[in-house]
Amino acid sequence: MTSRFWQRSDSEDDDEEAATSEEESDDDSSSSDDEGQQAKKGPSRFMIGSSDSDSDDDKRVVRSAKDRRFDELKATCEEMRNKLNINDWSSVQSLFDKLNKQMEKAQKATETLGAPRVYIKMLVELDDRLFATLANKELTKKMSPTNAKALNTMRQRLRKHNPFFAEQMEKFRAAPESEEEESEDEESSSSSSSDSDDEGEGEEGEDGFEKMKSAKEKKKDKLLTMDPKEITFEMVSKKLQEIVLSRGKKGIDRQDQVDMLTYLATVAKGPYQKVEVLVHVVSALFDINPSMSTHMAPPLWRRCIGVLFEVLELLEAHPHIILDEHHEGNDEITEEPEAGVETRVWGNMVAFLERLDDEHFKSLQVIDPHTNQYLDRLKDEPLFLALAQKVSDHFTRIGDTKGLARAALRRTEHFYYKTDAVYDAMRKLAVAQQEAANAVQEEAENGDEIPEEDDVVVSKDTVVVTVPPDFTLGESCQELMDQLSVIIYKHGDERTKARAMLCSIFFKAIRDEFYIARDMMLMSHLQDNVQHMDISTQILYNRTMAQLGLCAFRAGLIPDALAALSELCGSGRVKELLAQGMSISRYQDKTPEQEKLEKRRQMPFHMHINLELLESTHLICAMLQEVPVLAATGMQTHRKPLSKTFRRLLDNYDKQTFTGPPENVRDHVMASTQALMRGDWRKAYDYLAGLTSWNLIPAKEDVLAMLKAKLQQEGLRTYLLTYGAFYHSLSQDQLCDMFDMSEKEVHSVVSKMMMDEMLSGSWDQPTRTIVMHATNPTRLQALAEGFAERAAGLVDLNERALTLRTGGLRGEEDDAGPRGGYQDGQYSGNRGGGRGGRGRGMGRPMIGGFDLGGGGGRGGRGGRGGMGGRRGGYNNSGFSVFGGGDARFQGGDRFRQKSQSQQYDRMTQLGRMADRRQ
């Protein structure tokens, strides 16, 4: 039925006109009808097509076929024109498709390339009509969503399509009346000319905006074509609302949205609206980058910073505008609020800042660190810092302490890893950037062509945002850090405080202030709490521990260094723990998600701690500690080695049948160890000095000198322990010669060994010799001694077994102390409760726990039981100590911690991380 109706209408123009007038009224009344018609039309068009392809038609002559195509074209054009009149863009869209298809066919049929005049005429009409519609804002607003969408699609289509026919269209426009149907043509051409006039006006008015857009993506929104003076507050807010609502929907060109919003910002009425629009520009910019795993493009990033600068400026100039995260849109506001009236705008400055920081971080993670791109990205840092500072200022002004603390933390995290040299470099860069910006501005002023008020120059794709001139970085990074830390300790939450604390410790550690750093670490009780924190904080913690260890080593505090590093380096997962590269685990594969997560945690290259340096430091510390012990007790002892890693390496090294010259760090240290065990400190030193990683230490000479002195000392000790038993007496002078030490030093070292009963000998002062009293026990004696020892062990075990069964026995005994004389170090170690229990006791249960993986912290706790009780009030000091924001953290039980370098053991949080990774 319908098809016939339409077919008929094809032939009878008059009828159709009548029909369209009816339809017009229908259309206006409701859009649902519209769709109904569309549905009706679908099949009808299909029928047309099918009737065209009838075999009957094919029999006709070519000439007539051509005519037929032509007729079809004409008919479609007519239909389209009708739809245009009623503004039914969705139909127009489908008709346009159809038209193009027919056009193609026609071309094939006629074997010509040129487009028929009907077609061109249609295009011109369509074009004009489109602009007219877009310009008519009210009309667009009334449109149903489908219709509006179709309108947009059409616009884009035409934009792509028309250039092919541009020439012909021009021609047509120039001489529209070269064909029949003059009357109709006249009408349309007159309307089209008027339309184009309108458009011309609009474009003239928009000159400023046109610059911002590439010619290709000319946007013909009605707003754009209007004179900015005519745009009202309401219009802008409506448009804004519209864009905000479409946010996140599919098929929306995000770039377009940003452009639109940017334009809106320029025409916004009053600061309130401008802030509102700009805030949305920022979120739209963030939206451009769709996925969490990829980073925001640097130009966008910079642009975002620029917009935020603008927002901040506005906020500063108009203190009555307040950003509020929980604020829902201001529907009721239809006028720009007056100054002085408190107005809230949705937006969260800290969140923006943090997001920007994250994006910067992400981009650094991804970019290859050996390219210029990386350097360029690094140069953006001052920009961010400037923004962060402004944001901080803003928060100080409005008294938002929470945000202030968060912003301060972000800034801290940009400073903490910078040595003074790096900081200076950055400061100079910032100054240079400012100067460059000034120069550009001056030029601009001299040329007085561009009246630029903002720092932001938007031109095509490249965005130039410069560091604002009022941004200065303080002379001393130290002061800056102190200020920021104080802010955070005052206002931050637990996590922020912990992070700031770690940053400060890191900062102190790279400045060789070991004691301060260590005291801060211990007094903050971070090592107790860190396992409950998020992974990124744990990584920061591990990094801090690594720096602390390096710092201790530079200061020559070998035991401290080893304590700080052993767990970190001994794990074999240094890379993962420091987030400096993906670890390859032999036994278990990671799921892609885990891998992704791990990737996201990676530190950017410029923040890396050199792993080779770390490894050599760790091994050397272990060597210096272990070698004399090995010499004193021999390899086969039941005592817990100070460094398991070192022992293992040494065993492996010994097992080798042939050892080549050292190649890597381990080889060097092992070769050095072998030399040192023979007492040959010179060779040992040469091996170690051959390591390349020393070049990374600024005070290389000092460290090497320190190392030399340590090697001499330990060499002497090792020598005496190993070979002392073979001498009756040793001359002091000879020892001085051998180890290149002064008399005093030798005397001091040897005396100490005598006092500690490591060396059974004594000085003979008049002859300046060491007389050894070593008596090698006979076999029987040795066996008897061993037997006595075992018997004692047995009794010991029995007592413990009984304690387990009955409970409390041991405790009573300890309190009563009936066996006062029995407290040798090893024994008391297991008691935990006794005073001596502090010594070894701490280490042992800790390690046991560590082997279980996640239980690392727990095990340690068990060992500390006795201590915790005695600590009393100080035990729960925790963070409350920081409350005062005082630089000096009074009140922790520093002594307790300090006395226990083994406390460090619990510091690196390996087991926990392993758990979290799952």
Partner 1 sequence: MADHDLTQELCKNLDRHLAFPLLEFLSNKELYSETDIQKAKIDLLQKTNMVDYAAEIYTALYKTDDIPEEMNSRRKEVVSKLKTLQAQAESIVSFLSSEDKVKQLKQDKAYNLAFLQEEFQIGPQQIDALYNFAKFQFECGNYSGAAEFLYHYRTLATNSERVLSALWGKLAAEILMQQWETALDDLTKLKEIIDANTFAPILQQLQQRVWLMHWALFVFFEHENGRNAIIDLFFQDRYLNALQTTSQHLLRYLAAAVVVNKRRRNAMKDLIRVIEQEAYEYTDPITQFLECLFVRYDFEGAQMKLRECEEVLENDYFLAALKDEFVENARLFIFETYCRIHQCIDLRMLAGKLNMDAEAAEKWIVNLIRHARLNAKIDSQAGTVVMGMQFPSAYEQVMEKAKGLSQRTFVLANLVFTSARKAQLPATDFPVCDIKDQ
Q: Given the rule CB under 8 A, which residues bind partner 1?
A: 515, 744, 747-748, 751-752, 754-755, 760, 762-767, 771, 773, 775, 777-778, 781-782, 784-785, 787-789, 791-792, 794-795, 798-799, 801-802, 805-806, 809, 818-819, 821-822, 870-874, 877, 880-881, 884, 890-896, 898-899
Q: Which is nearer to partner 1, 427 or 898 (CB)?
A: 898
In whole angstroms, give the CA distance from residue 457 to residue 216: 20
Torsion region of 24: left, alpha or beta (phi above 0 gives left; psi -120 to 50 gives alpha): alpha
Minimum distance between the CB of residue 320 and partner 1, rounded to whole angstroms?
Answer: 41
Minimum distance between the CB of residue 774 and partner 1, rounded to whole angstroms?
Answer: 9
- Beta strand 729-731 pairing with 769-772: antiparallel
Q: Which is nearer to partner 1, 93 or 625 (CB)?
A: 625
> What 3-state class would DSSP assign to 463?
strand
In whole angstroms, give the CA distance from residue 246 to residue 243: 5
Minimum distance between the CB of residue 404 and partner 1, rounded to whole angstroms?
Answer: 24
- Beta strand 761-764 pairing with 769-772: antiparallel
Q: Which is nearer to partner 1, 360 or 554 (CB)?
A: 554
Minimum distance between the CB of residue 711 and partner 1, rounded to whole angstroms?
Answer: 19
| CA 775 vs CA 536, 567, 638, 728, 862: distances in Å | 58, 39, 23, 10, 42
Q: Which is nearer to partner 1, 664 or 760 (CB)?
A: 760
Q: Which is nearer to partner 1, 484 or 749 (CB)?
A: 749
β-partners of residue 729 are 771
Minimum distance between the CB of residue 884 and partner 1, rounded to whole angstroms?
Answer: 7
Q: Which is nearer to partner 1, 256 or 813 (CB)?
A: 813
Contacts with 176 (C-beta within 8 Å, 6 or more apart), sequence order = 121, 185, 186, 188, 189
The tokens for 883 are 């409350």
Minimum distance between the CB of residue 792 and partner 1, rounded to whole angstroms?
Answer: 6
Question: How many other C-beta atoms can be found within 10 angstroms of the C-beta atom of residue 275?
Answer: 26
Minimum distance between the CB of residue 708 and partner 1, rounded to whole angstroms?
Answer: 19
Minimum distance between the CB of residue 796 and partner 1, rounded to whole angstroms?
Answer: 9
In whole angstroms, give the CA distance from residue 492 to residue 411: 14
Minimum distance between the CB of residue 830 and partner 1, rounded to whole angstroms?
Answer: 16
Q: Which is nearer to partner 1, 329 or 839 (CB)?
A: 839
- The helix or strand, by DSSP H or E, that contains position 459, with its residue range, turns out to be strand 457-459
Minimum distance between the CB of residue 504 and partner 1, rounded to whole angstroms?
Answer: 18
Contacts with 167 (C-beta within 8 Å, 6 or more apart), sequence order = none
| CA 155 vs CA 90, 204, 802: distances in Å | 12, 20, 91
Minimum distance between the CB of residue 755 and partner 1, rounded to whole angstroms?
Answer: 6
Phi, psi of 659, deg, nearest 5: -115, 120
Minimum distance between the CB of residue 764 and partner 1, rounded to whole angstroms?
Answer: 5
DSSP secondary structure string, 516-534? HHHHHHHHTTHHHHGGGS-
Q: Which is nearer to partner 1, 425 or 783 (CB)?
A: 783
In whole angstroms, give the CA distance from residue 641 to residue 648: 10
Question: How many other C-beta atoms can be found within 10 angstroms of the C-beta atom of residue 592?
Answer: 8
Phi, psi of 665, deg, nearest 5: -60, -45
Report which of 893, 878, 887, 881 is spatially closest to residue 504, judged by C-alpha positions. 887
Q: Which is nearer to partner 1, 693 or 830 (CB)?
A: 830
Q: Which is nearer to partner 1, 451 or 872 (CB)?
A: 872
DSSP tag of 515: H
Minimum distance between the CB of residue 903 and partner 1, rounded to whole angstroms?
Answer: 13
Minimum distance between the CB of residue 821 and partner 1, rounded to whole angstroms?
Answer: 7
| CA 590 vs CA 123, 570, 602, 745, 776: distances in Å | 59, 22, 16, 54, 57
Q: 880, exposed or middle or buried, with CB in 10 Å at 0-12, 13-18, 19+?
A: exposed
347 within 8 A of 279, measured Cβ to Cβ: yes
In whole angstroms, give the CA distance from residue 77 to residue 564: 82
831 within 8 A of 822, measured Cβ to Cβ: no
Report which of 351, 349, 356 is spatially closest to residue 323, judged by C-alpha positions. 349
- Beta strand 343-346 pairing with 321-324: parallel
Q: Which is nearer to partner 1, 70 or 515 (CB)?
A: 515
537 within 8 A of 502, measured Cβ to Cβ: yes
Minimum distance between the CB of residue 759 and partner 1, rounded to whole angstroms?
Answer: 10
672 within 8 A of 688, measured Cβ to Cβ: yes
Q: Which is nearer to partner 1, 616 or 877 (CB)?
A: 877
Minimum distance between the CB of residue 802 and partner 1, rounded to whole angstroms?
Answer: 6
Q: Which is nearer to partner 1, 585 or 729 (CB)?
A: 729
Q: Which is nearer to partner 1, 693 or 751 (CB)?
A: 751
Q: Which is nearer to partner 1, 686 or 799 (CB)?
A: 799
| CA 881 vs CA 216, 455, 489, 524, 889: distances in Å | 62, 44, 10, 8, 6
Q: Which is nearer to partner 1, 62 or 788 (CB)?
A: 788
In whole angstroms, give the CA distance from residue 684 to residue 688: 6
| CA 848 vs CA 397, 486, 564, 647, 909: distances in Å | 53, 39, 18, 18, 15
Minimum distance between the CB of residue 633 and partner 1, rounded to whole angstroms?
Answer: 17
Q: 884, exposed or middle or buried, with CB in 10 Å at 0-12, 13-18, 19+?
A: middle
> What 3-state class would DSSP assign to 906?
helix
Minimum distance between the CB of residue 727 and partner 1, rounded to whole angstroms?
Answer: 15
Q: Which is nearer to partner 1, 696 or 792 (CB)?
A: 792
Q: Which is nearer to partner 1, 636 or 765 (CB)?
A: 765
- The helix or strand, by DSSP H or E, that contains position 397, with its residue range, turns out to be helix 381-398
